[in-house]
Amino acid sequence: MKLSDLQSKDIINVNDGKCIGNIVDVSIDDNGKAIVLIVEKYKFFTSLFKSNVIEVKWDQIKKIGKDVILVNIV
């Protein structure tokens, strides 16, 4: 699967069903394995002092579907 395929999918938190955002980048380890998804949040009107991105660890991914990626973020 290519990064561009992942970037077209919405990230959904299975705990509350909310859409978190879209993938903007992926962090990989020295062996080329993806370890963290960098997700840009959808909220445009957040504080200027708060980060607009979150990191989703690869083990937090529960399912990669055709249109969405389900993650477990507490």
CA distance 52 to 74: 18
Q: Which residue would you say has higher pLDDT here, 4 or 30?
A: 30
Give the tens place of pLDDT for each residue, 26-47.
999 999 999 999 999 876 555 5
Q: Mean pLDDT, the chain, as a whole number?
A: 89
Q: Give residue 25's pLDDT.
A: 93
DSSP letter string, 32-65: S-EEEEEEEES-SS--TTS-SEEEEEGGGEEEE-
Domains, the chain, in order of start with CATH, read 3-71 (2.30.30.240)
- The answer, yes or no, to whether residue 10 has pLDDT greater than 90, is yes
